[in-house]
């Protein structure tokens, strides 16, 4: 999935992306240490900047992106509530499963994998849902869904958005768009180790929050108190090193500037997609909705999917992903996100493919 996992983490004489592991080596502190608590507060403040929100309830949930997804649903849906879920890939499908386990009434709006959701169709699926949910950047297909258009027409419904592969890579504007609940993950465009789920929830959603969610660990009523500075209450032991790492990564991102980071992803993605087409390869995701950070391309006829991916990994230290679900063996998914979104990686991959495919 990540373009150059080995380049990212080594081996080799030097790690070209020290930012990716910054903070992990910071000396351990206790989870009640005032210095740790102030770092946690600052991490939440930095997250607000990156999410573009003033939401007080903004924090890193302990767990990977999927924990963020589950926290989002269990705190907003009670049995019998109506939720409309837009599905055009693996992660939208997973949202339906999570919502079903909350015993909600799930209304699916499907679009073919590789194409974007139709916002109007999502909005017209039900007259008065409690919640509308969709994935901003579908990592399984490389497609961007139009969050702003759904937000504009959501009416009284709450809007929940998966930003796991969008936060830090393409524009996300929680308050500007009017998104009520959103979650992300550390290991995609933020370029940190996996293990935390940046999370935010606005006032409208807090007011309608489930009071006694089926999950104890992910109950935001309690987790919210856990990150609230001076009045902080013990809920669980914070994963100290991961929070140090996220703190450092968000600092680096804000120093680079959000716009500059989006532009870096955009220009690398464009160069990659142009280069692939020049090699005669066919881009798979719908034009106009292609993610720069996750490019999907059709495996050319007569080419051995697994053999090419193995050679890329073993000879060049580049890892690309295969297709998932019905598209296994038929497409490649090329991640170019976080610290790996650099022109040198694009050049290296295009050169490697030129050689391996004999173009």
Ligand X SMILES: *Cc1c(COP(=O)(O)O)cnc(C)c1O
Judged by the rule CB under 6 A, the positions of this chain that interact with ligand X are 64-66, 69, 91, 135, 139, 162, 164-165, 185, 194
Angle at 163 between CA 180 and CA 167, to 5 degrees: 110
Burial 128-139 (b: 16+ CB within 10 A, else e): ebbbbbbbbbbb
For residues 341 and 348, which CB has a smaller minimum distance to ligand X in the complex?
341
Minimum distance between the CB of residue 330 and ligand X, rounded to whole angstroms? 19
Chain centroid offset of residue 11 CA: 26
d(CA 132, CA 157): 7
Place of tokens 């990659």: 272
Residue with smaller CB distance to ligand X, 117 or 135: 135
Nearer Cβ to ligand X (15/66): 66
Output 194 or 351, the one with its CB closest to ligand X: 194
Tell me the residue nearest to ligand X as measured from the CB: 65
Q: How far is the CB of 185 from ligand X (least distance, A)?
A: 4
**Shortest distance, position 146 Cβ to ligand X, whole Å:** 16
* E-strand stretches of the chain: 57-62, 82-87, 105-110, 131-135, 137-138, 143-144, 158-162, 181-183, 196-201, 294-298, 321-322, 331-335
Nearer to ligand X, 65 or 198 (CB): 65
Whole-angstrom distance between the N-terminal and C-terminal Cα of the chain? 24
Minimal distance in Å, beta carbon 47 to ligand X? 16
CB 76 within 8 A of CB 131: yes
Which residue number, 58 or 165, has a Cβ lying nearer to ligand X? 165
State how far the Cα of 226 lies from the Cα of 55, in Å rounded to an integer: 16
d(CA 195, CA 263): 26
């Amino acid at each position: 999935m990540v373009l150059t996992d080995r380049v990212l983490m080594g081996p080799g004489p030097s790690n070209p992306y020290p930012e990716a592991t910054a903070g992990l080596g910071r000396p351990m502190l206790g989870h009640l240490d005032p210095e740790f608590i102030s770092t946690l507060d600052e991490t939440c403040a930095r997250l607000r900047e990156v999410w573009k929100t003033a939401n007080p309830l903004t924090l890193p949930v302990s767990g990977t992106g999927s924990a963020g997804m589950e926290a989002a649903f269990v705190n907003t849906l009670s049995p019998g509530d109506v939720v409309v879920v837009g599905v055009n890939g693996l992660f939208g499908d997973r949202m339906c499963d999570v919502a079903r386990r909350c015993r909600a009434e799930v209304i699916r709006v499907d679009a073919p994998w590789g194409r974007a959701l139709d916002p109007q169709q999502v909005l017209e699926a039900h007259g008065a849902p409690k919640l509308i949910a969709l994935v901003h950047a579908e990592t399984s297909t490389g497609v961007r869904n139009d969050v702003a258009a759904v937000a504009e027409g959501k009416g009284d419904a709450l809007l929940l958005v998966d930003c796991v592969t969008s936060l830090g890579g393409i524009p996300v504007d929680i308050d500007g768009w009017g998104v009520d609940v959103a979650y992300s993950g550390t290991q995609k465009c933020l370029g940190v180790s996996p293990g935390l789920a940046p999370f935010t929830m606005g006032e409208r959603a807090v007011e309608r929050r489930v009071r006694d969610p089926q999950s104890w660990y992910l109950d935001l009523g309690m987790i919210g108190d856990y990150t609230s500075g001076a009045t902080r209450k013990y809920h669980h032991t914070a994963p100290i090193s991961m929070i140090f790492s996220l703190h450092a990564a968000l600092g680096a991102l804000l120093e680079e500037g959000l716009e500059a980071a989006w532009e870096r992803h955009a220009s690398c993605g464009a160069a990659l997609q142009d280069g692939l087409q020049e090699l005669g390869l066919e881009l798979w995701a719908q034009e106009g909705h292609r993610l720069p950070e996750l490019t999907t391309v059709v495996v050319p006829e007569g080419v051995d999917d697994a053999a090419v991916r193995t050679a890329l990994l073993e000879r060049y230290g580049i890892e690309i992903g295969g297709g998932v679900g019905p598209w296994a063996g038929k497409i490649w998914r090329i991640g170019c996100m976080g610290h790996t979104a650099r022109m040198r990686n694009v050049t290296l991959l295009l050169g490697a493919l030129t050689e391996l495919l004999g173009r």
